[in-house]
Chains A and B, each alone.
Chain A
Amino acid sequence: AQTVTQSQPEMSVQEAETVTLSCTYDTSESDYYLFWYKQPPSRQMILVIRQEAYKQQNATENRFSVNFQKAAKSFSLKISDSQLGDAAMYFCAYCALYGGATNKLIFGTGTLLAVQP
């Protein structure tokens, strides 16, 4: 069974600094997607960034970038120039792509990010 592990329950960063959130996963599949979602106090899950496993190039989205190491099954999120609005719970998620069609997300336990002014 696929699993997603986030080993950092809480992290803190100073405003304008850089922080990296860790995520590892376990799967025997070769085709899959990885995601980072943000859940602010409003509780609505917001997609931050997505990575297709077959792409070796790391995904970037403005201040957010990932370090995807497929062999190591590692998928970390780097937030640059942290802003107060980045404070939230961050979830790493895995989605297999077998049979050509599935949308089942497997989530990690989350990392609560605090941004200090």
Chain B
Amino acid sequence: KAGVTQTPRYLIKTRGQQVTLSCSPISGHRSVSWYQQTPGQGLQFLFEYFSETQRNKGNFPGRFSGRQFSNSRSEMNVSTLELGDSALYLCASSGTTGVATEAFFGQGTRLTVV
């Protein structure tokens, strides 16, 4: 069974640009969550999608948005990039029932904003 796939693995963007990150969950999983990891703030929850609906949202500005497709693949978009958006973005795929289970993480996308 393939794991969680995040693309791209590395990304360099210029301040003010926008970026889209992709996450393909484990086959059959309907929940996809996104996390931002930085040395200063640690791991912070961005949002969760379940069956194409945003079910939970963290405390991030509206520049951060996401969506989930019918095949459960999810994309995360950050508009008007700021230097502080430089981080490792992790995607987690969870269970088939929607009840809290262990989350399987992808290898992350390392975003650098210059």
Task: State the A residues within 8 Å of B (CB).
Answer: 32-33, 35, 37, 42-47, 50, 91, 95-97, 100-110
Total contacts A to B, CB within 8 angstroms?
A: 69
Contact check: which of A33, A46, A91 meets B43 at CB < 8 Å? A91
In the bound complex, how far is the Cα of B104 from the Cα of A45, in angstroms? 8
| Mask: chain B, 67-100; 1 = CB below 8 Å from A; 0 = not | 0000000000000000000001010101101111
Q: Evaluate contact between B99 and A97: CB separation under 8 angstroms.
A: yes
Q: Evaluate contact between B100 and A103: CB separation under 8 angstroms.
A: yes
Task: State the B residues within 8 Å of A (CB).
Answer: 31, 33, 35, 42-45, 48, 50, 55-56, 58, 88, 90, 92, 94-95, 97-108
Nearest chain A CB to B5's CB is how many angstroms away?
12
Known contacts: A101-B99, A102-B55. The answer to whether A109 contacts B42 by CB under 8 A is yes
Known contacts: A43-B107, A44-B107, A47-B102. The answer to whether A103 contacts B42 by CB under 8 A is no
A-B pairs, 7 with minimum CB distance: A45-B105, A101-B98, A107-B43, A103-B94, A47-B102, A95-B100, A44-B107
Q: Evaluate contact between A103 and B103: CB separation under 8 angstroms.
A: yes
Q: Evaluate contact between A101 and B105: CB separation under 8 angstroms.
A: no
